[in-house]
Amino acid sequence: MNRYVNIGVSCATAAVIAAAAAALSAQAQPPATGKPAQPPTTAKPAQPPTTAKPAIKFNQFGGSLGGPILQNRVLFFTSYEGYREESGVTVQGNVATQATRNRMMAALPYPETKMVLDNMPLPNVPINDVIGRYTDARTLVRRDNTFLGKVDFEAGTGRLSVTASRMRPFANVPRIQIENDQQYTNGSKRISTNYVMTKNSYVSESRFGWNRNTLDRFDAFWLA
């Protein structure tokens, strides 16, 4: 009698162990149907809005002309070169949100405050409730006109050369403000003379020059 009881207990214990092993195996195996579990996705940071890319243009042109005025006595040479360039640039910066603008107007209820705020765009990339980022594609404009003239003529026992040039570079650089681009107007004027006298025993050279460079920068906000 004890023999059969012992056999029954052993069989019951083996069944419990087998059931537990099957349960653990089932937990370790992925489900038979369906896709495997994917890690949770996180939200992507806000991207600036897509804006049209400005066209890129570059035109360079010019010409030169020279020749004798008096045969073997007076010669001249002149040239002109200019270019026009338009290229796209990205402007970006932090600006006040509408809520911040309202608080500023409440604290400083003056026409000057509204004038300054109207010149600033609203953010198109959120940061927080106080400020945001404004990003846009603008057009950078550059141009220049360069003139050069030179005259050589025989003067006495030597040769005199007079050279004059003028340059006028201009650039219009966009900024994030509305209608407040920075304009750079450069100027360069130059005159130089050179007199060379040749003798049998020596060579003499005399030079004189004058040069003037200017740079003006204006904000379109103040030119309006």
State residue 55's pLDDT score. 74
| Tokens matching residue 79 | 């040239």
Find tokens 């019951």 and name the residue.
Answer: 12
Q: Is 150 a domain residue? A: yes
Note whether residue 34 is domain-resident: no
Q: Are 182 and 175 in contact (CB under 8 A)?
A: yes
pLDDT at 2: 39
Quote the pLDDT of residue 23. Answer: 46
- Side chain identity at 145, as an amino acid letter? N
Total structural domains in the chain? 1
pTM score: 0.64
Token pair listed for 154: 């025989």
| pLDDT tens-digit map of 169-196 | 999 999 998 888 999 999 999 999 999 9
Full residue range of the structural domain in which residue 63 is found: 57-93+136-223
Kindly state whether residue 162 falls inside one of the protein's structural domains: yes
The yes-or-no verdict on residue 128 having pLDDT over 80 is yes
Query: Residues with Cβ < 8 Å from 28, sequence gap 6 or more?
Result: none
Identify whether 129 is part of a domain: no
Q: What is the model's pLDDT at position 54? A: 60
Which of these, 153, 1, 182, lies nearest to 77 by C-alpha position? 153
- Flag whether 125 is in a domain: no
- Answer whether residue 20 is part of any domain: no
Mean pLDDT of 12-38: 47
**Could you tell me if residue 185 is inside a domain?**
yes
Average pLDDT over residues 202-218: 93
